[in-house]
Amino acid sequence: MLQDLQVLEIPTKTNFRGINTREIAIFHGPNGWSEFSPFIEYGDAEAKVWLKAALEGAYKPHPKLAREKIEINATLPKVEVNKVEEILNLFPGAKVVKIKFDDFSKDAILIEKVLEVLPQARIRLDINGGWSLDSARKNLELILAKYLQFIDYFEQPCERLSELKTLKSEFGIKIAADESIRKNLDSDLSSLREYVDIAIIKWQPIGGFRAAQELVKLIGLPVVVSSALESGLGISKGLELAGALDVDLACGLGTVGLLESDIVNEPLEISNGEIAISPRTPNLKAIEKFQASEERRTWWISRISRIMESGGFDEYLN
C-alpha cells in the first residue's frame, strides 16, 4: 500500500467544514485505486474505520450493483448569498438541495435564494448536531412556519438521539441521523428507527462496503449515501455503495464539484441530476499538480503505519 501512496492537496472552491484545502492519500490494489482521506484533525481511532474502507476498496471484491446511475442532491456550503446560484449550477438537474445550516436568523436567506433559483426544490437542512433542544425548537418553529412545504428532512439537528426523538414527536418532521451513526459505530444501533427516519451512510466513515451493508440491514431505515468531501476516487466507491444498497433517495455524492479540480480520468459528470457508477482512475497530470510535499507524505505514512500497528487489518490484506 505504502509503495505507491500518493498524498494530494486539492484546494476547495468554498470554505467547507472550515477548510480550504482537502488533503487525501490514494493508492492502488488488485481491485483498483482507493482513497484514504479522514480529515486531518481526526484521531487514529476514528481514522481506523476510514482505513478499513480504503483497504477494502483496493484489496477486496466490490459489491454487486442493483442500478447503473445514482440520483444526487446539490450541496450548498456556508457561502455568501451571491454565490448560491454559482454553487447550484455545479449540480445540473438536481431536484434536492442540502444546505449547511446554523441559525434561522442568519441562514434563512440561503433557503430564499435556493428557492429563487430552483422554485420546486426539496430542501434538506444539515445542522451537524449544532442545536440544543431549546434552540432546535425555536429554529424549527420559524423554519416550518415559512418553508414547511419545501422541507425534505432535517439532518442531525441535535447531538443526542433522545433529543432527535423529541423533535420528531413534537414537530412531526423527518429527521436524518449522521453523526449519531458514524460516531457510535461501537454501539447497538438496532433501535435507531425509534429515533430517526433516515440514515446518512458514508463509505469511508462507516468502514467500507460490507460494514455499511450490514449496518443498513441492522437499522432497517431508508438510506442516503453521502460523501466526506472525497475526490472522484472516493466518490466512485460511494456511488458503488449506493448502487449496491439500491437506495431510493437522492444521495450526497455530487460534492467533487466543490473541489478546485477532480483527479480522475473519468469525470463524475452530473447529467439530469444523476451520476453513472463506474470505476475511476487517477489522472497523472492532476496527481502531479496537486502533489503534496514530502513532509506531508511522511506525515500520512506515519499515520497509516501507526493505525495499522494497532491491528485488525489482516482480513483486508490476506
Just list the catalytic residues.
Answer: 100, 202
Using the structure block, give the residue that is written with the C-alpha cell 440514515.
Answer: 199
> DSSP letter at 34?
E
* CB contact set of 50 (below 8 Å; sequence gap of 6+): 36, 37, 38, 42, 204, 205, 207
Rounded (10°) CA dihedral 239, 245, 251, 257: -10
d(CA 269, CA 275): 6
* Strand arrangement, sheet containing 32-36: 6-16, 19-29, 32-36
Cβ atoms of 117 and 111 closer than 8 Å: no
**Distance between terminal CA atoms of the chain?**
13
